[in-house]
Amino acid sequence: MNRKFLTNLSFLLFLNLLVKPFYILGIDAEIQNRVGTEEYGLYFSLLGFTFLFNILLDVGIVNFNTRTIAQQPFLIAKYFSKIFSLRMFLALIYGGFVLLLGSLIGYDSSEIYMLIWLICNQILAAFTLYFRSNLAGLLLFKYDTIVSVLDRFLLIIICSVLLWGGFTDKPFDIYWFIYAQTFAYAVTAITALLFLISKQKLGKLRGNKLFSIAILKQSAPYALLILLMTFYYRADSVMLERMLEDGKTQAGIYANGFRFFEAANNIAFLFATLLLPLFSNLLKNKKSVASLINLSSRILIPGAILIATTCFFYSQELMGARYINSTTQSGEVFGLLMICFVFISTTYIFGTLLTANGNLKTLNKIAFVGVILNIVLNLILIPMYQAYGAAIASVITQGLTALAQVWLCKSYFKLKINFELFSKIVLFTFIMVTTGYVLKTVYVNEIEWHYAALIMLGSGSLNLFLFKIIEFKNIRKLLLER
């Protein structure tokens, strides 16, 4: 199982590193430069609003389906057509609810028009995720990986033409970006479905009321968990836009830092997509998960620390290099969000294990506390510190929820603390922070910032092997396993 995890992770990382960072930092960031902080801030806030109620589209079906199909693959023929029909019904409920609520909280006609298109995009993306959950559940990771980058690949092509193709003299319009997303998501959803059809007989499309009710009951705990986690992950931008007089601008500033954070987070999230079916399969067959936890922890958590510390020390420079409208506040927000990245990466291992084990009630209690804490902190900190306050709220919330999940995994699975690995990670973190401080203070006038950042990344990567956090012999052993 470790070999399957490592080989598929390598392929997944290769394609995603090839496509997603360029899309987020090259295309998406350039669009914000073109349309301006305020207009992009409105788009970012409305996008966050559609995410808040995304659970109505899914009601936990994706996580439930991945776990179920990974443990009992034969059920896909029975489940697929009925769940597909259910999701079509849920899409109608989601669209109507979001539009109604948007009208009630005061969005004007132009904002509602943008909201309609963003709702359509969320529906298409949700269907793609459902198709991917079946591919992942069947352990068809190669096809799932291709689908995972296809929408971004198409957007890179379309938006590159619109941004730099010289086909029009008109300023870039944010709606061009939204329409391009609609096309890309539609093509990706169709491709994912065709992959699935080519590998598995799915049966005729038909609804079943009793089956739908049963699925909703079984997936309800997953739905609640996703809803709660989405609120403390996406509510910040909506609260910024609604609470402050210059809310659109503050949401745009938050989006500057959030975009870089999201680029890193998208890579870390790939671990969760692989780990959920693998953990589920191991637990179903009553096998130990300790080895897979150890392997994923050695790769993801130190890797997150390496990236986060480098970005923290050079947050201002990175923001200034990418955005024409960058402010000091953008860099400060980004620095804090990258601390969040370490906590979220930890969650992608231990939270995923708890999900695979079916500990949804406990996870929901943690997430509920996280939501209340995040909202209270935002209500206090946003009026005082604006976008920076929202970032502080995120760090506190993500840090506490991650620690709670690690502690629960230790209790539920009787895991022994690997003090050797823990001490190595602490030492690695200390050296990364020390290196960043020295480069930023002692050699600030002698080494250009981008070279200093590369020194941090390079020396940190070397230390991962020198400290034997990652060992070549173990990687070689896994690759040669049969």
List, for residues 82-101, the tens digit of each pLDDT value: 778 888 888 999 999 999 99
Decide if 238 contacts 49 (C-beta within 8 A): yes
Q: Which of helix, strand or coil describes residue 187?
A: helix
Q: Is 286 left (phi over 0), alpha (psi -120 to 50) or beta?
A: left
Compute, in degrees rounded to 10, the torsion defined by CA atoms 314, 343, 2, 294.
Answer: 100
Tell me the average pLDDT across 319-332: 81
Alpha-carbon distance 139 to 195, whole Å?
13
Confidence at residue 373, expressed as pLDDT on a 0 to 100 scale = 92
What are the tokens at 437? Answer: 């401080």
Does the pLDDT of residue 403 top 90, yes or no?
A: yes
The single-letter DSSP state of residue 165 is S
Confidence at residue 479, expressed as pLDDT on a 0 to 100 scale = 47
- The three-point CA angle 13-429-444 to 5° equals 95
In total, the chain counts a number of residues equal to 482
- Residue labelled with tokens 């200034």: 320
φ/ψ of 36, rounded to 5, equals 100, 155
> Which of 87, 70, 78 shows the shortest CA–CA distance to 216?
87
Residue extents of the structural domains in the chain? 2-416
Decide if 177 contacts 118 (C-beta within 8 A): no
Type of residue at 319: M
- Residue 243: C-alpha distances to residues 210, 240, 249, 380, 384 (Å): 43, 5, 12, 11, 11
Query: For 128, what's the count of Cα atoms within 13 Å in the CB-facing half-sphere?
Result: 24
Does the pLDDT of residue 16 top 80, yes or no?
A: no
Quote the pTM value: 0.72
> Which of 342, 109, 134, 364 shows the shortest CA–CA distance to 226?
364
- Residue labelled with tokens 């991945």: 66
Tell me the average pLDDT across 278-300: 84
What are the tokens at 460? Answer: 């940190």
List, for residues 100-143, the tens digit of each pLDDT value: 999 888 888 889 999 999 999 999 998 998 888 888 777 777 78
Does the pLDDT of residue 426 top 50, yes or no?
A: yes
Model confidence at 76, pLDDT cuts 50, 70, 90, reads: confident
Type of residue at 220: A
Type of residue at 378: N
List, for residues 39-66, the tens digit of each pLDDT value: 888 888 888 888 878 777 776 777 677 7
- Residue 415: C-alpha distances to residues 408, 426, 459 (Å): 10, 19, 32
